[in-house]
């Protein structure tokens, strides 16, 4: 089990599209979606490689300005 907390910033005008795309990724949960473009995201994957790949996938979503790892736990 690998859990990562991510602070994400997206373009305000694309926030709904960004949230929808993130919710479609395996192991991704959006826990906070502000109208100003700030989001709180949790990644829960089976391996560290999957968690890292998912973080990179978040950064590649059109409209995402930044995705910063703020917490990581592995068991």
* Residues paired with 8 in a beta bridge: 39, 67
> Looking at residue 34, what is its pLDDT?
84
| 39 contacts 10 by C-beta, under 8 angstroms | yes
Q: Where are the alpha helices (DSSP H) in the chain?
A: 15-23, 48-59
CATH code assigned at 69 = 3.30.70.920
> Looking at residue 35, what is its pLDDT?
84
Q: Which two tokens stand for residue 60?
A: 């590649």
Residue range(s) defining the domain that contains residue 18: 2-74
- The pLDDT tens digits along the chain (75 residues) read 999 999 999 999 999 999 999 989 999 999 988 889 999 999 999 999 999 999 999 999 999 999 999 999 998
In this prediction the pTM is 0.90
**Pick from 3, 5, 30: nearest CA to 15:** 30
- Identify the three-state secondary structure at position 42: strand
- Identify the three-state secondary structure at position 33: strand
Q: What total number of domains does the chain contain?
A: 1
């Amino acid at each position: 089990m690998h859990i990562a907390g991510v602070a994400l910033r997206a373009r305000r005008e694309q926030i709904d599209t960004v949230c929808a795309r993130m919710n479609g990724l395996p192991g991704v949960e959006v826990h906070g979606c502000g109208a100003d473009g700030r989001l709180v995201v949790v990644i829960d994957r089976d391996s560290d490689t999957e968690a890292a790949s998912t973080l990179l996938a978040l950064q590649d979503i059109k409209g995402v300005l930044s995705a910063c790892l703020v917490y990581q736990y592995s068991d």
